[in-house]
Amino acid sequence: MSQTLSRPKVQPWSQSSVASVRPLILASVLPAVFAALVGLLANLDFSVALLVIFVPLQALAAGFVGFKTYGKRGLKDAVLIFVTIFFSMMVMVLLTSVLVSVAVAGFSAMSPQFLSQNNVYVSPTTSLEYGGVGHAILGTLLIVILTTIAAVPLGIAMAVFLTQSNAKHKGIVRTVTQALSGLPSVVSGLFILAIMGFVGIERSGLTGALALFPLMLPTVARVAEESLRLVPSDLRLAALALGAPNYKAFFQVILPAAKSGIITALLLGLARIIGETAPLILTINANNSTNLNPFAEGIATLPTYIYGFLSSGYSTSQARAWGAALVLLLLVALLFGAARIMTRQKSLKTKSTKKAK
């Protein structure tokens, strides 16, 4: 009978001694200190000190320590690890600064009334205590939902055609889809505008949704296609061998297996359209009042609201624009968070039952 041991506190592969840690500390502190000193003495710009002095020096130091410990192979490892960490941190800083600057600039406009009220009787100089983006939040949701209702089922249907059928002309469909996913949004807006003039339809939320549709469809189709392609063909064969008709094999076996990928497709599609401004400026009447009917009259969205207030030079209107940008970011975060929770439920269930054993 074998004995049960307690798990060691330090794993054999992560043992460290003072002797092995000292050069590591030196190699990670010295370049920074040196770069800071040179930078201060020579009065260099921060970015110059960082990129011209610190980065090469730190790569060199990391490489030296790696070489001392593991030889040539250690040198390459250490340099690559440093480069990876440094540049991913740069990107993190960049993205975080975007979020932080929007949050800081938009914070002054934030208030319950800013989220709920509409923009009637608000001029560019009106105090921030009056008016808000309530109408634009509703407008954004209405237009995005309209587009999603049309684009997601059709996009998934295209993905199904591209992955499950044996049709001959799939190549053409795939090429066109890929070409369309690079469509400049303003072109899509102009296209719908031209059709509106030709057929004689008035601007409304619906025409805005129509202009967003060609942008969302290819994104959804491509991502959904990739996720359906990842479902092993074994599963489809297993379902068919159990006497399933094709449609049941798809809906009950293949689609559930690709669920998280399909939700990613939906999210990327949403991300593609929710911040679009140009096609909407061309196809909707961005108004100031609340309009719950997307099929008639003017309707505003957050991006058109931002565009409208940013282009007038007053500080209060700029604050409104930043506030609306923050609301848009939060809205996106909310939608993404909700979708992620929806996809995670299944795997959580597996984990909890495993633990219960």
Q: For other proteins, give the closer residue by CB, 127 or 166.
A: 166
Tokens at residue 260, please?
A: 């998280």
Measured from the CB atom, the residue of 47 and 350 that comes closer to other proteins is: 350
Cβ-in-10-Å burial (0-12, 13-18, 19+) of 317 comes to buried
> Which positions touch other proteins (CB under 8 A)?
166, 232, 234-235, 237-245, 248-249, 252-253, 256-257, 259, 346, 349-350, 353-354, 357
CB of 233 to other proteins, least distance (A): 9
Task: Give least dist CB 175 to other proteins, A.
Answer: 21
Q: Which two tokens stand for residue 272?
A: 């593609």
Task: Specify the residue for token string 């025409």.
Answer: 207
Nearer to other proteins, 180 or 235 (CB): 235
- 190: tokens are 């102009």
Rounded least distance, CB 249 to other proteins, Å: 7
Q: How far is the CB of 354 from other proteins (least distance, A)?
A: 6
Element (H, E) at 145: helix 134-164
Cβ distance 261 to 223 under 8 Å?
A: yes
Of the pair 193, 257, the CB lying nearest other proteins is at 257
- Number of helical H runs and strand E runs in the chain: 16, 0
Residue 354 tokens read as: 């495993």
The answer to whether 159 and 221 are in contact (CB under 8 A) is yes
Nearer to other proteins, 229 or 346 (CB): 346
Dihedral sign for Cα 273, 274, 278, 280, please: positive
Q: Would you say 144 or 254 has its CB closer to other proteins? A: 254
**What is the nearest approach in angstroms of other proteins to the Cβ of residue 346?**
7
Closer to other proteins by Cβ: residue 196 or 228: 228
Query: How many whole angstroms separate alpha carbon 291 and alpha carbon 287?
Result: 9
Cβ partners under 8 Å of residue 109, min gap 6:
128, 319, 320, 322, 323, 324, 326
